[in-house]
Chains A and B, each alone.
Chain A
Amino acid sequence: MMMNHSLKSRYKVQPGTVITGKWHNNHYTILKELGYGANGVVYLVKYGSRHAALKMSDNSMSITSEVNVLKSFAKVQGTSLGPSLLDMDDWQTGGDGSKVSFYVMEYIQGPDLLSFLQQKGKSWMPVVFLQLLNDLAQIHENGWVFGDLKPENLIVTGPPPAVRCIDVGGTTIQGRAIKEFTEFYDRGYWGLGSRKAKPSYDLFACAMIMINTAYPNRFAKQQIGGIAQLKAAVRQRQELLPYEKVILRALEGQYLSAKQMRDDLLQIVTRQDRADRPKTSGGSGGGKGSPQSPLNSRKQQQKQPSAQSHPSSRKAYRKHKKKSRWKEYLIIAAVLGGLYGWYIFMKIL
């Protein structure tokens, strides 16, 4: 990306270095580098007895702009959109007055989304995406679009596992042009929409992350490109097939809100559950004496159609039953009548 060599080496801060803010005079001890992106380097730091993440950049503007986003996120009550902001300051690196802007935020610990799914298995896939869509819905409701949505920017913390967005460098006010993006997750790159910050931009990226779970190495745009290539990619992976409908709708920009996409995903997950259960219980409960209700209901379901296919015989059976009941009644009535007649006759005699 935009990282040229001079920039990278200049901000290679050695572990143990103490960073002191010019304005607020807080001290942070660098522990290690956590990662670097287009607009700076993130370090794990210790201040007092706590750990925190510190992002520094020679581009004071991008630091300021990210701080603005984090401040705005902090105003949203009762949620944790992005890491919480702890401090923002300048670090005087040398005697010559040169300084680097930095901000300090909550350290969110955990594997990134793809590593998490690799460790924990595919059953977590719908869970993390439902969580992510919930977060996106809130970000959108507050007038933002996350922008640079990709697995590296999604950390699964826990327990209990919860997805958190960590890099707000691409977060843009809705209606403006997306500030920062990564080609694979960008709908402009695939020729499937504009780079205007709209909720559907994030939902496209979300669908691409779903595809990414089945293609860990991603893939480049081919000659056919666009929706045709992505459609084919989804169909080639067994594990993506259940979500095909949701993925394609998101790629085509048919969802106007994260909630719509979440509802569809939820529907698929619950339906999949229902479809899965008889199969698995049928497999495990194959032995004798497993009176599991799904199995029973399945047997009943199987019986019903066969009965319906022979309606005449059943009716005949009922008719037959009715007739024999009448016969019984007549015989009893006749016998009683006979006995009563016999009794009267004897009395008269």
Chain B
Amino acid sequence: MNAGKIRQILLITDGCSNQGEDPIAMAALANEQGITVNVIGVMEHDVIDEKGMTEIEGIALSGGGVSQIVYAKQLSQTVQMVTRKAMNQTIQGVVNRELQQILGRSQSMEDLPPEKRGEVMEVVDELGETVELEVLILVDTSASMKHKLPTVKEALLDLSLSLNARTGGNQFSVYAFPGKRNDVEKLLDWTPNLQSLTSIFSKLTTGGITPTGPALRTALSSFSEKRNVRSLLSDDDESFFEESV
């Protein structure tokens, strides 16, 4: 079975976008390219307003991902659960497509009798353990996020701990928005480990605007750039991974 690679964008924010393209449209664009967009809304003492909530749910919905609003305290646990849940959803989607091909009808895993479902689940579990995962993390660094950033850093380190316990490989990349000069700033290029994040996060400055849409667009181009560079450098490597999965 070929699940290829799983590509995700994880957006961590605490409110509504106020500049640039519509983030919901950008999320839909990502979904069209096989990239899932997950959103985590972080609260502390402040509450996220109605408008922000609608946007967070909208981004995840059109991005084919999962959204969750949490208090900063629960961020670590949530980040890893959201990532995992979205990963399983993607795998389940792939498995369902395979099932439809085999069974010829509009069958999904849920339509199988419970006894058969168990065997399919074992395949889903196996894939979740071994599939290659690419997560691009977009961190909102608007002014209101300032005191939540240490918690975000902890949560991201925790995420890399969780995902690196899997057999399959992981690649992470971290972007912050707004950046110092542009809408978005790359903090960390694709790497299997997020440890180096510790030093970068302490230097982060926060700004006023929240250009969520442009940030998502940049994140998308980062995925395609990566694919291009990868295919130029190591064509064999890539195909090997895809086959083994």
Contacts and interface: CB of A to CB of B under 8 A. Distances in A.
B121 A1 contact: no
Nearest to A188: B161
23 contacts: A1-B77, A2-B78, A2-B81, A60-B110, A61-B88, A61-B121, A68-B118, A71-B118, A90-B110, A101-B114, A173-B125, A175-B167, A176-B125, A176-B129, A177-B129, A177-B162, A177-B165, A177-B167, A178-B162, A188-B161, A188-B162, A189-B76, A194-B161
A196 interface: yes
Interface string B150-193: 00000000100111111100000000000000000000000000
Contacts of A177: 129, 162-163, 165-167
Contacts of A195: 161-162, 165
Q: A-B pairs with the 4 shortest C-beta distances?
A: A177-B165, A195-B165, A64-B121, A88-B114
Contacts of B81: 1-2, 38
A65 B161 contact: no
B113 interface: yes
B158 A64 contact: no
A175 B166 CA distance: 8
A99 interface: yes
B68 interface: yes
Given A2-B78, A4-B68, A177-B166, A60 B161 contact: no
B110 A194 contact: no
B10 interface: no
A68 B121 contact: yes
A42 interface: no
B124 interface: yes
A188 B158 contact: yes
B74 interface: yes
Interface in B1-40: none
A177 B161 CA distance: 10
Nearest to A21: B114
Interface of A: 1-2, 4, 23, 38, 60-61, 64-65, 67-68, 71, 88-90, 99, 101, 173, 175-179, 183, 188-189, 194-197
Interface string B67-110: 01100001011100100110010001000000000000000011
B122 interface: yes
Nearest to A194: B165
Interface of B: 68-69, 74, 76-78, 81, 84-85, 88, 92, 109-110, 113-114, 117-118, 120-122, 124-125, 129, 158, 161-167
Contact of B124 (A2, A38, A61, A90): A61
- Of A60, A89, A90, A183, which is in contact with the most chain B CB atoms at under 10 Å from its CB? A60
A23 to B, nearest CB: 6
A203 B110 CA distance: 36
A99 B110 contact: yes
B112 to A, nearest CB: 10
A339 B1 CA distance: 119
Contacts of B76: 183, 189
Given A1-B81, A194-B161, 9 more contacts: A4-B68, A64-B114, A64-B121, A68-B121, A101-B114, A176-B165, A178-B162, A188-B161, A189-B158
B118 A64 contact: yes
Contacts of A64: 114, 117-118, 120-121
A225 to B, nearest CB: 11
Contacts of B92: 61
B51 to A, nearest CB: 18
B69 A65 contact: no
Nearest to B92: A61
- Of A2, A183, A194, which is in contact with the most chain B CB atoms at under 10 Å from its CB? A2
Contacts of A197: 165
A46 to B, nearest CB: 21
